[in-house]
Structure 1
Amino acid sequence: MDRRKIVARFIVNVWYLNIVTWLMMWFIKNHNSARRRNRQLALRNRTFVRRMVGSAYLDSIIGYDDVQCVNQIRMDRRTFHYLCQMLRDHGRVKLDGVVTMEEQVCMFLHILAHHVKNRTIGSRFCRSGETISRYFNSILHGVLRLQGTLLKVPEPIPNAYPDPKWSWFEVFFIFYKNYF
């Protein structure tokens, strides 16, 4: 073989090698971007499914009848929506667009009514324990801001109360004053 054929063959081989390298890099890049795109779609779909499951559970509690609502959150639907509106208007509970006010209040009342952990509520509403804790504290602060409206201050019973059943407690109050 003469020298020109060897150089030409070398140039062709280098050219093929460059094309093969370029094609492999293009395939790897597109393969990684496809994997990334599929992962993003899966995350979006999972988030959508989570929201659907959480809203379905919320709807099963407050959507159908007052019996289920009272059993789960110890409050009927009218009072529940009234409380949500009060917290929205006067409790200064802010909405960030992730969890609705009704879902936050439902999680709060469900925790109080059944003494369940954040992990349990998180699995029912498809939320993390940190999210449950954050919104529980937010609603708790809103309820505490409304304590003048929501909580009634008890009036003390006078010693000369006309109802005879209160006379039994008079002995207890005398004992309590003397003992403590």
Structure 2
Amino acid sequence: MARWKPDAAQRLMAAALELFEERGYESATVQEITERAGLTKSSFFRHFPNKREVLFDGEAMATTLVEGIAAAPDDAAPWDALTHAFARVGAIFMTPQRHDFLARRAAVIARTPELREREALKQLGLIAAMIDALTHRSVPDLEARVLAELSAVAFAIAYKRWLATTSSDNFADILRDAIDEVRCVISTS
């Protein structure tokens, strides 16, 4: 087996996605994923704790969000700090090169209850990370909670819209529009 090749995690994710598309999440095994990726089971478990996690970026997105909120200018309003953070997430995770993979991933998640549950838990983790990062910027707790929830809604809207476009469409532009729409709804309610 070619264990020395780079990008083992990406190869495992690609192999898992192919198998989940072909046979369904429930039918694919870790052994089959590793065989398709040309790796061993121990390599799989170095990168992912279980089969369910193979399509998720673990803590990478939450870390990027927190770092983005912290890196926003000190005088940035909370919405602007969140927008800054989500722009970073988009630049790293929602790239044209990943568009096809993410669209296929979304389709597999949509038809798999266990993966939908994991996606929802990931969303809750991202919201909690944003709340914590905003409170570290001295945003009052209630405001941080509301803004984190609303920005997560805007992000989900933008992500769904981006997946429905071509890979050349810029996620940052779609996100900015979704945030503006959510802010408009709030201000008119």
Instruction: Give the structure-1-normalised TM-score.
Output: 0.26
Instruction: Give the structure-2-normalised TM-score.
Output: 0.25
